[in-house]
Amino acid sequence: MVTRLVLAVSVVLAACEWCVGADETTTRWLDSYGSGMSAAKQSGRMLLVYFYDDKQDESQDQLARKLTTNKELLPLIEQYVLVRVPLGADARIGGKDTKLIEHASFAELERRPGLAVIDCTDPKSEHFGHVVSVYPLSLPGALTTKHLTSLLTLPTGSLTQRTLILAVRIHPEGPSSTDGVFLATLAKESESHSRHQARINLQGHHNWESRFHRISARLPGGHSAQEVCAESWPRMGLIAAALDCVQSWRQSAGHWSAVRGRHAYFGYDMKRGSNGVWYATGIFSTR
């Protein structure tokens, strides 16, 4: 279950800003998590939290430098409030002192360096105040412009939805199923079916005939629904499981045809069963 992050958390850090170089045009990184959260809420932007290795020399921090100087990424990163905190940063949450990286909201980073995105765009949204993306630096190709662009341009959604979409987008073959509109109807249906598979610990297109007609009737422009399902190996983390499910689709000609195809509308989600297996669902519109 995704845990809502306590918005009032205060991190014991110097209230200063860090830049990658005085002689370069850069976007600034805040070093205060609390200040970053306040700024994101006030401006209605996403909060991008970068947990970095405490022992890393700032001048060697390729990720921080790239995000704030790369000409392709700059227009995207301007839509975010940036916070850079060490893995050992202390926080006071619920009246108790702890390390921020150890908060349940960041569990999928597994206490390692990486990025986390918190949605602060709309107080009325179900995603407001929640971590909606995690991006470990151990991810193959994590520092590439392509992967970072994929992360920064994800549609509004939950952590599990956005993680599976990211896994599709960064696949080496560049499948096109996420190029269309992330439709709320298909997002909900993908979430519902992933949850159903997880509840019964069994992958499959269960009740697809009835679901097909219900979903198709709700699609615009006379589109029909198409579905793919997959499951991960047991006890995998969220990121690894998402990549594994996409690779599973790659092994099936029929599933991959749908995943790599271009669709006007799409929905993706994944949920973990009591057996430790993640169950993924993708639903698309077809003519």
Domains and CATH numbers, the chain: 10-153 (3.40.30), 181-286 (3.40.33.10)
Q: In this structure, which amino acid lies at residue 14? A: A
Tokens representing 93?
A: 């949450």
Q: What is the pLDDT of residue 118?
A: 98
Task: Summarize pLDDT for 3-46 with one digit per residue, the tens.
Answer: 445 433 433 333 334 343 433 334 689 988 889 999 999 999 99
Provide the 3-class DSSP secondary structure of residue 94: coil
Q: What's the gap between Cα 273 and its chain centre?
A: 20
Lowest-pLDDT range of 98-102, 149-153, 272-276: 98-102
> In the chain, what percentage of residues exceed pLDDT 70?
89
pTM of the model: 0.90
Q: What is the pLDDT of residue 57?
A: 64
Q: For residues 94-113, give the mean pLDDT.
A: 90
Q: What is the pLDDT of residue 11?
A: 39
Task: Summarize pLDDT for 222-277 with one digit per residue, the tens.
Answer: 899 999 999 999 999 999 999 999 999 999 999 999 999 999 999 999 999 999 99
Q: In this structure, which amino acid lies at residue 50? A: Y
